[in-house]
């Protein structure tokens, strides 16, 4: 473990003793609620849910408990954000002093870390992946001295591979900054989540989301798992009602159907396998990178041309060919069986 890890020394000085907003729902959630200047009447229109005239639970207790049972992580170790985007933003905001501090990313990777760093005027230190998309561990360890956070995405977007667990352990062991491991695609992965390591590493933060495997990108629910201390800070600096009532209700419902979610995941993985073998037979395809997620990074002879022609036919994929080590590559999400076969037949016709 990073023995000398000291969260307090990482946290921005102005946030160490922050007095958070005390919301009307912090103390009382039931009774005659005349404390929050809400409207006492239900809203107009047909709503599938009631109680929308009331502010949502700022501590999202019921949802936190459901996630706790499902992921086997104690509620005190769980923070919820308005998408992972908000968790990323708040983690940077918590420890990085604008115009002064730095964070590390490992390109090619998810674009939001850089955007969020840019918004906060935080310097970006890059440790590029090796051409086989693995981490450059010694480079990361060396550069870690200059940063407050390292963002690692595993399985990584857009490269679709997971990083070696041993290497992740070694990094966690040998740095004194926060290590944020983004597991947005973990439910599609053959590798296990790092959540069992939370007790061993006070510098570990794990991000997950309902946007991918749960099929709920529309409700915006991201999760951050970390030490109780980190989670308490995030709860203090978040907007008070960051998870709206509809999101809380729909997410709670989703955790009642986790068996069906598991079936969906299996079926998407089956489809990925099929799509992969069909793509491999196309003469326009040069390489399919091994995937541990619900998308494929595919190298084409003419990526730009293929991208354009697919778009003209109404099939939209992501052109990643200008990203490091991704020359000629398109990122293709595994769709429904019908979508996948339409994609293949369109590619054949080009």
Ligand X SMILES: *Cc1c(COP(=O)(O)O)cnc(C)c1O
Residues forming the site for ligand X (CB under 6 A): 83-85, 110, 153, 157, 182, 184, 209, 211-212, 217, 222
Rank residues 247 and 321 by Cβ distance to ligand X and give the closer one: 247
Strand partners, 298: 288, 330
Kindly report the number of other CB atoms within 10 A of residue 296's CB atom: 21
Q: How far is the CB of 249 from ligand X (least distance, A)?
A: 18
First to last CA, the chain: 54
Q: How far is the CB of 12 from ligand X (least distance, A)?
A: 23
Q: Which residue's C-beta sits nearest to ligand X?
A: 83
Q: How far is the CB of 110 from ligand X (least distance, A)?
A: 4
Rank residues 180 and 347 by Cβ distance to ligand X and give the closer one: 180
Q: How far is the CB of 318 from ligand X (least distance, A)?
A: 11
Rank residues 5 and 295 by Cβ distance to ligand X and give the closer one: 295
What DSSP line would sit under 289-323, residue for residue?
---SSSEEEEEETTHHHHHHHHHHTT---EE-TTS
Q: Is 8 helix (H, G, I), strand (E, B) or coil?
A: helix
Q: How far is the CB of 85 from ligand X (least distance, A)?
A: 4
Q: How far is the CB of 348 from ligand X (least distance, A)?
A: 29
Strand partners, 151: 180
C-alpha span between 328 and 14 (Å, rounded) = 46
Rank residues 11 and 112 by Cβ distance to ligand X and give the closer one: 112
**Sheet containing 102-105: order of strands:** 78-81, 222-225, 204-209, 178-182, 149-153, 102-105, 123-126
Q: Is 34 helix (H, G, I), strand (E, B) or coil?
A: coil
Rank residues 20 and 335 by Cβ distance to ligand X and give the closer one: 335
The first and second tokens of residue 26, run together, are 């912090």
Rank residues 103 and 347 by Cβ distance to ligand X and give the closer one: 103
């Amino acid at each position: 473990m990073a023995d000398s890890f000291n969260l307090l020394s990482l946290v921005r000085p102005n946030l160490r003793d922050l007095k958070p907003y005390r919301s009307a729902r912090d103390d009382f959630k039931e009774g005659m609620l005349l404390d929050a200047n809400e409207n006492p009447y239900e809203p107009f229109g047909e709503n599938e849910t009631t109680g929308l005239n009331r502010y949502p639970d700022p501590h999202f207790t019921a949802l936190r408990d459901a996630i706790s049972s499902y992921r086997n992580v104690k509620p005190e170790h769980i923070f919820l954000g308005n998408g992972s985007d908000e968790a990323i933003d708040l983690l940077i905001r918590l420890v990085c002093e604008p115009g002064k501090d730095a964070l590390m990313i490992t390109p090619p990777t998810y674009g939001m870390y850089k955007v969020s760093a840019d918004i906060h005027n935080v310097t970006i230190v890059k440790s590029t992946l090796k051409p086989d998309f693995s981490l450059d561990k010694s480079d990361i360890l060396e550069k870690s001295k200059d940063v407050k956070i390292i963002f690692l995405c595993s399985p990584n977007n857009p490269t679709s591979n997971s990083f070696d667990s041993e290497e992740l352990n070694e990094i966690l062991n040998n740095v004194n900054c926060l290590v944020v491991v983004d597991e947005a695609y973990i439910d599609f992965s053959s590798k296990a989540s790092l959540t069992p390591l939370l007790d061993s590493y006070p510098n570990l933060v794990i991000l997950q989301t309902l946007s991918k495997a749960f099929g709920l990108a529309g409700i915006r629910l991201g999760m951050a798992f970390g030490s109780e201390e980190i989670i308490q800070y995030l709860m203090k600096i978040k907007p008070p009602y960051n998870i709206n009532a509809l999101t809380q209700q729909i997410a709670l419902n989703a955790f009642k159907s986790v068996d069906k979610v598991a079936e969906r995941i299996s079926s998407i993985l089956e489809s990925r396998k099929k799509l992969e073998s069909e793509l491999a037979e196309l003469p326009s395809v040069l390489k399919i990178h091994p995937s541990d997620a619900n998308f494929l990074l595919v190298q084409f002879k003419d990526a730009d041309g293929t991208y354009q022609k697919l778009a003209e036919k109404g099939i939209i994929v992501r052109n990643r060919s200008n990203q490091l080590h991704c020359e000629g590559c398109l990122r293709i999400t595994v769709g429904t069986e019908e979508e996948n076969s339409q994609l293949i037949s369109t590619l054949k016709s080009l």
